[in-house]
Amino acid sequence: MTINIILLGPPGAGKGTQARRLVEERGLVQLSTGDMLRAARSSGTEMGQRVAEVMDRGQLVTDEIVIGLIREQLAKGGNGFIFDGFPRTLAQADALGDLLADTGMSLDAVIEMQVDDEALVRRITGRFTCGNCGEVYHDETKPTAQAGVCDVCGSTDLKRRADDNEDSLKTRLLEYYKKTSPLIGYYYAKDKLAQVDGLAPMDQVGADIAGALEA
Ligand code: ADP
Ligand code: ZN
């Protein structure tokens, strides 16, 4: 069965981690606009340079850019998508509805991952990832077994995001509350919303999402 789902929640809620699980368990395609924008910036294109500054400050990039990125990916086709970090504004949500309808697809569920602000700050300021395989680590809660080496793939290319600092995080949280949190009501009204406790242990969150998708 093919499904299309949105993972919704503030920065640091664990969207990326759960998206990766869903990719492994269900063969869905993860569409992370954050990852796409980071790829664009490191490719050194003009668009990439424009968005880099905006991202590092913690602000949202324009709707046109991210909608364009998603449109390109959907055109490639796939057997079910996980939207991770998209949509983030009401305009993006409307655009996604149109894009899915144009390609004969529909949205099955929106999973809101709920986490309180204090936990977010703790999670994000200790976060680092493997540049090779994408595994996510944390200084306190999930360090690598051997310092500086990825447990999964052995790469030493471990990095921290430029926007994972306290100032940018404040802006990211504000952007979330101002522009993204209205999507909770939007999808509730469309009967698509399910909520899970993002502070539960990782496996529990995964099980809760699976449960929400059954229902
Ligand atoms: P997080 O959820 O941890 O904030 P993301 O990787 O999803 O991280 O996004 C990082 C940054 O990329 C955002 O702060 C924003 O600048 C930009 N971005 C990602 N997705 C979108 C989007 N849908 N609309 C606008 N900007 C986006
Ligand atoms: Zn790795």
1 — pLDDT class (breaks 50, 70, 90): low
Measuring CA to CA, how many Å separate 1 from each of 96, 176, 205? 21, 32, 22
pLDDT digit string, tens, across residues 178-187 = 999 999 999 9
Answer whether residue 46 shows pLDDT above 90. no
Question: How far, in Å, from the CA of 63 to the mean position of ligand 2?
Answer: 31
pLDDT in tens, 78-87: 889 999 999 9
191: amino acid identity, one letter:
D
- 127 annotated active-site: yes
Predicted pLDDT at 146: 97
Nearest atom of ligand 1 to the alpha carbon of 15: 2
Dihedral angle of Cα 211, 213, 214, 215, to the nearest 10 degrees? 90
Catalytic residue among 20, 38, 41, 88: 88
From residue 79, give the alpha-carbon distance in Å to each of 1, 32, 73: 9, 16, 12
Q: Which one of 88, 94, 129, 169 would you pick to mutate in the ligand 1 pocket, going by the greatest count of ligand atoms within 8 A of its CB? A: 88
Residue of 15, 20, 38, 41 marked active site: 15
Output phi, psi for 147, to 5 deg. -55, 130
